[in-house]
Amino acid sequence: MKKVAIVGGTGYTGVELLRILARHPEVKVSAITSRSEAGRQVSDIYPSLRGEFDLAFSEPNNEILSQADLVFFATPNGVAMQQARVLLDAGTKVVDLAADFRLQDIDVWSHWYGMEHACADLVEEAVYGLPEVNRQAITKARLVANPGCYPTAVQIGLLPLLEQGLINRQHIIADCKSGVSGAGRGAAVGSLLCEAGDSFKAYGVAGHRHLPEIKERLAIASGAPIGLTFVPHLTPMIRGIHATIYAQAQDAIDLHSLQAAYEARYANHGFVDVMPLGSHPETRSVRGSNICRVALHQPQGEDTLVILSAIDNLVKGAAGQAVHNMNLMLGLAENAGLDIMPLSP
C-alpha cells in the first residue's frame, strides 16, 4: 500500500479527497493536517466519513508528512510553495490543488495572486496536471500542479480544435457557470443560502484568477497566443461547472468530421465522454464523478461552433483529478479509486 497525506483537509476538496481515497484499493491515508482542527477526529467534522477513517487532524509536521509517498496540498494559494521543497528533498512527491505551480510566468502569477513566489525554480519543474495533455510527463513527475476547475472544463472543450488549428484562436468566448462549492468552505456573505439561492450572477468579469491559466495553457496547445473572453457565473447549486464555449471556424464546418476528431482525440482518455452530436451535457450527469462530458453544436448551420463541457468542480475539477495524477505518479492503475458512477438524482 502507498501512503499519502493531505495538508489542509477541512475544506471541500479535502473531504472529497478523503471520500475518494477511502475506496482506493492501493492507498492508505497516513496523515491529514489542519491547524484549526488539530486533535479532532475526521468524522467529527465530516460525519459522512464515520467508520471510514480512524484518524484525527494533526498540526502540519514535515517529518511526518515526508514519510508519505505523496502529499496532497488542499490549502489556500501560497501555502504549498512554502513547504514543497522540504518534502521533495525528502523524496516525497507532491500534488498541489491550489495555484502555486500552475502558471509558468512568475510575474503574471504574482500579479494575479498578490504575493511574491517563494520557489520559482520549482515552478519550472512542476508538471501541469491535466492528464488529457500531460499523461506521460505526469508519470515521471515529483511535483504536479493540479489544474483549476474552470480551466479543466474549458481546455477539454477546446483542445481538439486548437491543436489542429480548426478555429480562429483570437475570438474565443468561454461562458462558464459554477456551483457555490467552488467558493470554498470558508464563511462568506456571497455563499450564504439567502444570497446565492434563487439567484444567478456573473462575477470576475473584469478578470478572474483562472483567466491567465486558461490563456497560458490554450496558447501552449495552439502554439500561439489566443484571444479569450472568459466570464464566470455563480449558480444556485452546490456542485458542478457548465462551460458554454463559442468559437469561429477557420473553414467550412463539417460537424461530423469534427465529432470524429473529438472522439479520436479522447479515445484513450477514459474520463472524457464525447457525447453524440446535438447532446446537452448536464452538471447532474457528472455529479460525484471524475467525468467530463463534451458535446458539439453548430447553431443555425453558421460558422460559429458551440462546445458544451460539464464537470463536477470538486472531482474532475479538483480532488478526482488530483487522485488521477497521484495514480500516474505512483505507477498505479490510472482509474484506481475513480470508477465512481455519477449520482442521480
Catalytic site residues? 149
**In degrees to the nearest 10, what's the CA dihedral of 29, 30, 33, 39?**
110
- Complete edge-to-edge strand list for the sheet that includes strand 228-234: 201-202, 228-234, 167-178, 241-249, 304-311, 292-297, 272-274
Which amino acid, residue 20? Answer: I
Q: Which residue has the cell 477526529?
A: 41
Measured distance CA(189)–CA(170) in Å, rounded: 37
Q: In 3D, which of 104, 9, 21, 133 has the Cα closest to residue 69?
A: 21
Q: Is 84 helix (H, G, I), strand (E, B) or coil?
A: helix
Partners of 70 in the beta sheet? 4, 93
Measured distance CA(155)–CA(265) in Å, rounded: 13
- Supply the angle between the helices 106-113 and 210-222 in degrees, to the nearest 10: 160
Rg (CA), the chain: 20
Q: What are phi and psi of 22, to 5 degrees?
A: -60, -30
Pull the grid cell for residue 303: 460558422
Asked whether 72 and 5 are in contact (CB, 8 A), the reply is: yes
Measured distance CA(155)–CA(177) in Å, rounded: 15
Q: Which residues 6+ apart lie within 8 Å of 89 measured at CB?
A: none
Reply yes or no: is the peptide bond before residue 345 cis, omega within 30 of 0. yes
